[in-house]
Structures are given as structure tokens and as C-alpha cells.
């Protein structure tokens, strides 16, 4: 997928949040593996933004199907 850089995340894209609890607690999601997977997986564009309310990573996907695929793979 192609990462896009915006100051603010696109509001109408589909959001999937990976929290610090997801990363630090069992089964210990490795954020570097997640980022590598997103970068090498075919798909549309995505945006990565820090998520203040959950203190984690907010992945925003242009195509909702990419968000579903991400959830099925990682969450």
C-alpha cells in the first residue's frame, strides 16, 4: 500500500487503531512487522497517525476493504 503524508488524517477514510495495549500485551503485536506488512501489501493508500485517546497508532485506509484486510491479519 502507498503511505500518504498529511498533517491531519483524512476524515472520511476507514480508521483502524492499534493501541499500545495491543502492542505490549499478549500476543505482543510487533509494530515493525505491521508497518513492513502494510508497506509491502498491495492495496490503495493509507495514512498513519498517532492516536491520542488510545495512545496507539491510527491507520486510516482509503479503501475500506484494505482496512478489513488489515483487521483480519493483525487484530
Partners of residue 15 on adjacent β-strands: 60
* For residue 63, pLDDT beyond 90: yes
pTM for the model stands at 0.84
* For residue 69, pLDDT beyond 70: yes
Q: For the chain, give the percent of residues with pLDDT over 90.
A: 53
Average pLDDT over residues 17-41: 87
Q: What Å distances lie between residue 65 and 6, 9, 48, 53, 70, CA to CA?
A: 21, 18, 17, 25, 9
Distance between CA 38 and CA 29 in Å, rounded? 14
Question: What pLDDT does 19 receive?
Answer: 86
Amino acid at each position: 500500500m502507498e503511505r500518504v503524508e498529511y498533517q491531519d488524517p483524512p476524515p472520511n477514510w476507514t480508521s483502524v487503531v492499534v493501541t499500545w495495549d495491543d502492542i505490549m500485551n499478549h500476543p505482543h503485536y510487533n509494530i515493525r512487522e505491521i508497518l513492513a506488512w502494510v508497506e509491502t501489501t498491495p492495496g490503495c493508500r493509507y495514512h498513519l497517525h498517532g492516536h491520542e485517546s488510545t495512545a496507539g497508532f491510527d491507520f486510516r485506509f482509503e479503501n475500506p476493504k484494505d482496512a478489513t484486510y488489515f483487521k483480519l491479519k493483525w487484530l
